Amino acid sequence: MTIPNAEGYPEQEGDIIMMYFPFECAGLKEAGIELAEYINSNMKDYEDIYIIGHSKGGVCIAKAAKWLKKRCFMVFVSAPFMGTVMADENKVKRRLNTPIEYGIYERFYKRHKVDLDIRPTEEPFRNCDYSGVVRHQCVNVISETVNIHTPMDLGCKYLNLRMHYTHGDGIVTVATQKILSVLYSNVRTVYIDASHGNSLSRYLSKDADKYIIA
C-alpha cells in the first residue's frame, strides 16, 4: 500500500487519507496487513475510523478486518469477493475476441499482482478469509449497471453482454459482490445502479438516493 509517512503526511494535517496499490505491491493479503498495521499504530486515538474500499480495495479492507484492533466502520463498494473473470486474461480473450475489444482490454489490464489475486479459480473461497468483518460495522454496496446515464454506463452494459454477466457492473458480477452479505449477517447491503468505474462517486454523491435500487 502507499502508506503515508510523517514527512509526506503529518498526522494532524487532515483526517482523510487516500491509499492505492503501487505496482510493487506484493498482493491483497500483504496490503491488508500493512493497512491494519498503519491504522493500529496511527489511528488508535481516533474515536471513529471509517474505511472505504472500492473494487480490489474493498477486498483488501475485508481481509484487513481481522488484524484491526479497534472496531471500525467499513464500506465495500463493487468488491469482487470471489474474484472476477476480468482478471483472467485467457477467459477474457475468448469472450472479447475482436482485435478492438481485446486491444482496449490489454491497454487497461496491467497484470498487477493484486489483479492476479482476484482471478477466479476452481476453489470458490480460495484465500477468502473475511471472518474479521464480524467485529466491525459494515456496509456492502453492490453495483449493477441497470440504466444508462453516461457513456461509461453504456460501455459497461456492453461489457456485461460480451462477458456473459446476467447481473453485473461491467467488471464484477453481482454474485461475487454479494457473497460477503450472504456469509455475514452483520453486513448491511445496499444495491446501487452504477457502473464499476462510477459506483464509488455515485454512492458518495449528494444525489446517491436516485441511484439506489430498491
Among 85-94, 161-170, 182-191, where is mean pLDDT lowest?
85-94
Rounded distance between C-alpha atoms, residue 25 and residue 85, angstroms = 21
Q: Determine, yes or no, domain membership for 6.
A: no
Q: Determine, yes or no, domain membership for 4.
A: no
In this predicted structure, the answer to whether residue 32 has a pLDDT above a threshold of 80 is: yes
Q: E strands of the chain, at which residues?
A: 50-54, 73-77, 137-144, 187-193
Decide which of 129 and 78 is more confident: 78
pLDDT-derived band at 54 (thresholds 50, 70, 90) equals very high
The label of the residue with cell 488508535 reads: 44
CATH number (domain holding residue 146): 3.40.50
Among 91-95, 104-108, 151-155, 183-187, where is mean pLDDT lowest?
104-108
Fill in the DSSP letter of residue 163.
Answer: T
| Average pLDDT rounded to a whole number, residues 17-36 | 89
| Average pLDDT rounded to a whole number, residues 130-150 | 97
Rounded distance between C-alpha atoms, residue 76 and residue 137, angstroms = 11
In this predicted structure, the answer to whether residue 10 has a pLDDT above a threshold of 80 is: no
Q: Determine, yes or no, domain membership for 109.
A: yes
**Cβ atoms of residues 74 and 62 within 8 Å:** yes
Decide which of 193 and 90 is more confident: 193
User: Which amino acid is it at 122?
Assistant: E
The label of the residue with cell 493479503 reads: 29
Rounded distance between C-alpha atoms, residue 122 and residue 105, angstroms = 24
Q: Determine, yes or no, domain membership for 3.
A: no
**Cβ atoms of residues 74 and 167 within 8 Å:** no
Residue 186: which domain range?
11-211
The pLDDT of residue 122 is: 43
Q: Determine, yes or no, domain membership for 140.
A: yes
Domains in the chain, number? 1
Decide which of 31 and 8 is more confident: 31
Mapping DSSP to helix (H, G, I), strand (E, B) and coil, where does residue 159 land?
A: helix
Q: Determine, yes or no, domain membership for 86.
A: yes
Q: Determine, yes or no, domain membership for 17.
A: yes
Supply the pTM of this predicted model.
Answer: 0.90
Q: Determine, yes or no, domain membership for 29.
A: yes
